[in-house]
């Protein structure tokens, strides 16, 4: 019979205190595993591969606000860009795909963000090797008043294909538009902000009454945007088109006729941001550098802002949780020490008998140390199982509240470090009780 077999037999003889001691370790490991798995999923969400575009183009301003509004849809947009500028980007030889986005409204039910866009948005992978799929419907936005909704929106509002909805201008407290959109497809879960978004045809979004600015305001903004020396032709084109629109509307006003123009002229259209897929990575760097020198817009690689957001919002919380769970495991180690050390007074005679029967001091030392190691390992294995079980139970609730897809069986490489750490902890807390057993006086113990 080896030392571990003897140690296991001793643990079984003291089953209740041993179980409670191992359980205290298991609880600490369980919390740490749950934190590691969840934070690992959140970390991947903020990594480079969580978006399938090279650049986000938006008005000059904060790159972080542009990412928060465009990718995560949790912040108001900075400003808008002329539709003509989107067309310029689309026709740039370096650009493979240019997808326009328009924000500003929310759904009347649930206040989910409205995204005006084109069908190409669903054809470009939202992350490398991860493409959109449809769980209901199948048609894209063929009509002006068509919409595609995320899985979380469908579940929360109990919407499906054929449901019609209205939107609120500028936020939950704004004006409710009269126009109704019809859902033609429900997207499968992606674990991104797309699950909590409602996508409408950009043409329909721009045609909504109230989404067009007064011509004078549009003219001023467009001419300020295209104020460079190379923009003379564009300024002349803008002036000519706006003059024609003014003349047409003046004629309508003269006869007392108010017309809501269902087809907004391109010169009056605006987009909030443009997502770009470049033909080569070097083109992304070149275009970003060009826009940095100019005054029109900015083109940012979303990697750094996303990483900064992760560090600000997630990093410190993760560190605090890991620190707390580490303290729990340390306290569990202390409980093992107290449990084994307190048992030494009751086991002095047992140890003396073992010594009298020929057991070496080192063997007795090894048995006590083996008990500490076994208790930590049993608690660690139990905690590993319970940790993933806790994530399994919590996953549906987390997904319902945040839309974040969590795989409870996802394994983080850092989990492998737990067991070497537990072995070191077991050796440390078991050393003093083992030395007590090592120094037991056989004659005195048997006499008492």
Domain boundaries, the chain: 3-46+308-447, 50-302
Rounded Cα–Cα distance for residues 348 and 442 (Å): 8
pLDDT value of position 159: 93
Rounded Cα–Cα distance for residues 53 and 62 (Å): 19
Has this prediction a pTM greater than 0.85? no
> What is the enclosing helix (H) or strand (E) of 200?
strand 198-201
Q: Give 370-420 as a DSSP string.
A: HHHHHHHHHHHHHHHHHHHHHHHHHHHHHHHHH-----TT---TTHHHHHH
pLDDT value of position 356: 65
Please indicate whether residue 379 or residue 445 has the higher confidence score (pLDDT). Answer: 379
Answer yes or no: are the C-beta atoms of 340 and 428 closer than 8 Å: no
Q: Work out the pLDDT band at 399, boundaries 50, 70, 90.
A: low
User: Quick one: tokens of 45?
Assistant: 């969400």
Distances (CA, A) of 134 to 69, 149, 162, 197, 362: 24, 10, 15, 14, 67
pLDDT value of position 36: 78
Span of 136-145, 195-204, 303-312 with lowest mean pLDDT: 303-312
Judge whether residue 89 has pLDDT over 90: yes
pLDDT value of position 174: 66
Q: Work out the pLDDT band at 276, boundaries 50, 70, 90.
A: very high
> What is the enclosing helix (H) or strand (E) of 115?
strand 114-117
> What is the enclosing helix (H) or strand (E) of 278?
strand 273-278
Q: Work out the pLDDT band at 261, boundaries 50, 70, 90.
A: very low
pLDDT value of position 402: 56
Phi/psi at 82 (nearest 5 deg)?
-65, 145
Q: Supply angle C-alpha 188, 201, 157, rounded to 5.
A: 45
Please indicate whether residue 366 or residue 180 has the higher confidence score (pLDDT). Answer: 180
pLDDT value of position 359: 67
Rounded Cα–Cα distance for residues 305 and 104 (Å): 22
pLDDT value of position 96: 93
Span of 5-9, 239-243, 435-439 with lowest mean pLDDT: 435-439
Kindly state the DSSP code that residue 102 receives in the 8-state scheme: B
- Of residues 12, 22, 6, 4, the one with CA closest to residue 339: 22
pLDDT value of position 48: 45
At 191-216, the pLDDT tens digits run: 788 888 999 999 889 888 767 777 88
Please indicate whether residue 288 or residue 427 has the higher confidence score (pLDDT). Answer: 288
Rounded Cα–Cα distance for residues 331 and 429 (Å): 11
């Amino acid at each position: 019979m080896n030392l571990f077999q003897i140690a296991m037999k001793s643990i079984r003889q003291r089953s209740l205190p041993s179980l409670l001691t191992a359980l205290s370790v298991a609880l600490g490991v369980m919390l740490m595993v749950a934190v590691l798995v969840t934070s690992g999923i959140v970390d991947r969400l903020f990594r480079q591969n969580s978006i399938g575009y090279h650049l986000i183009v938006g008005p000059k301003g904060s790159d972080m606000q542009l990412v928060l509004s465009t990718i995560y849809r949790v912040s108001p947009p900075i400003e808008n860009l002329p539709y003509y500028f989107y067309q310029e980007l689309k026709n740039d030889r370096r650009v493979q795909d240019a997808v326009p986005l328009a924000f500003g409204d929310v759904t009347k039910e649930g206040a989910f963000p409205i995204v005006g866009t084109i069908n190409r948005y669903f054809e470009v992978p939202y992350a490398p090797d991860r493409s959109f799929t449809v769980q209901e419907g199948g048609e894209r936005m063929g009509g002006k008043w068509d919409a595609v909704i995320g899985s979380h929106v469908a579940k929360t509002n109990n919407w499906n294909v054929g449901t019609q909805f209205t939107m609120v201008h500028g936020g939950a407290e704004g004006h409710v538009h009269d126009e109704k959109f019809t859902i033609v497809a429900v997207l499968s879960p992606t674990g991104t902000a797309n699950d909590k978004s409602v996508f409408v045809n950009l043409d329909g979004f721009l045609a909504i009454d109230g989404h067009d600015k007064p011509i004078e305001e549009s003219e001023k903004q467009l001419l300020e945007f295209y104020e460079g020396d190379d923009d003379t032709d564009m300024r002349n084109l803008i002036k000519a088109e706006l003059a024609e629109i003014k003349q047409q509307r003046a004629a309508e006003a003269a006869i007392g006729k108010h017309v809501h123009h269902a087809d907004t002229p391109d010169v009056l259209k605006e987009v909030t941001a443009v997502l770009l897929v470049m033909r080569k990575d070097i083109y992304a760097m070149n275009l970003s550098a060009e826009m940095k020198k100019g005054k029109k817009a900015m083109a940012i690689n979303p990697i750094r802002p996303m990483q900064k957001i992760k560090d600000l919002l997630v990093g410190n919380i993760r560190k605090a949780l890991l620190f707390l769970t580490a303290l729990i495991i340390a306290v569990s180690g202390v409980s093992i020490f107290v449990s084994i050390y307190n048992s030494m007074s009751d086991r002095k005679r047992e140890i003396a008998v073992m010594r009298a029967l020929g057991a070496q001091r080192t063997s007795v030392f090894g048995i006590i140390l083996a008990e500490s190691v076994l208790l930590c390992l049993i608690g660690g294995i139990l905690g590993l199982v319970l940790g993933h079980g806790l994530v399994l139970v919590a996953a549906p609730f987390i997904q319902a509240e945040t839309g974040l897809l969590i795989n409870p069986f996802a394994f983080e490489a850092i989990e492998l470090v737990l067991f070497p750490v537990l072995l070191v902890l077991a050796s440390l807390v078991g050393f003093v009780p083992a030395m007590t057993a090592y120094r037991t006086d056989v004659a005195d113990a048997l006499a008492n």
